[in-house]
Amino acid sequence: MTETPIKSYHGSCLCQQVRFSITGFRGTVGNCHCTMCRKFHGAAFATLVNVEGLTWLSGLEQLKDFVAPNGTIRTFCSHCGSSIGFRSKDASLDEIEMAIATFDEDLPVNVDVQIY
Ligand SMILES: [Zn+2]
Ligand SMILES: [Zn+2]
């Protein structure tokens, strides 16, 4: 009898201090073109994914939150400035949508929607 290993995916920030793993994805993946996402990511749009089984492996103390005037929260690495994720007002860190660019490997997800 062999157990099916749980597939996990890993991500990190640019300086590698913030590292995390997840076990899966849920919901849709969207490219968000809103002004705040563009500024936050320093890119033409941001791609965020809803994840399952999020575990912070290191660097939690480096995470900093920016709370926008509308209450949405953007989390980034305070050491290297990498965009880590986004969550809605009052959501806990466990509910964060991860910035897809932080993952270290190719992901089995397709971008389904374009927003803004
Ligand atoms: Zn960093
Ligand atoms: Zn946005």
Determine, yes or no, domain membership for 115: no
3-state secondary structure at position 112 = coil
Q: Of 80, 85, 113, which is closest to residue 99 (Cα–Cα)?
A: 85
Determine, yes or no, domain membership for 112: no
Report the separation in Å between the CA atom of 101 and the middle of ligand 2, taken as the mean of its atom positions: 15
Q: What domain count does the chain have?
A: 1
Determine, yes or no, domain membership for 1: no
Residues in the chain, how many? 116
* 3 pLDDT above the threshold of 80: no
Determine, yes or no, domain membership for 58: yes
Determine, yes or no, domain membership for 27: yes
Q: Which ligand is nearest to the CA of 80?
A: 1
Q: Which ligand is nearest to the CA of 88?
A: 2
CA 9 vs. chain centroid, Å, equals 12
Determine, yes or no, domain membership for 109: no
Determine, yes or no, domain membership for 4: no
Report the separation in Å between the CA atom of 3 and the middle of ligand 1, taken as the mean of its atom positions: 35
Provide the domain limits for residue 56. 9-104
Report the separation in Å between the CA atom of 93 and the middle of ligand 1, taken as the mean of its atom positions: 17
Q: Are 49 and 100 in contact (CB under 8 A)?
A: yes
Report the separation in Å between the CA atom of 52 and the middle of ligand 2, taken as the mean of its atom positions: 21
CATH number of the domain within which 50 lies: 2.170.150.70
Phi, psi dihedral angles at 41 (to 5 degrees): -90, -10
Phi, psi dihedral angles at 34 (to 5 degrees): -70, 160
Q: What is the tens place of the pLDDT at every residue in 55-110?
A: 999 999 999 999 999 999 999 999 999 999 999 999 999 999 999 999 998 888 88
> For residues 105 and 38, what is the distance between their CA atoms, to the nearest angstrom?
23
For residue 112 the two structure tokens come to 């389904």
Determine, yes or no, domain membership for 70: yes
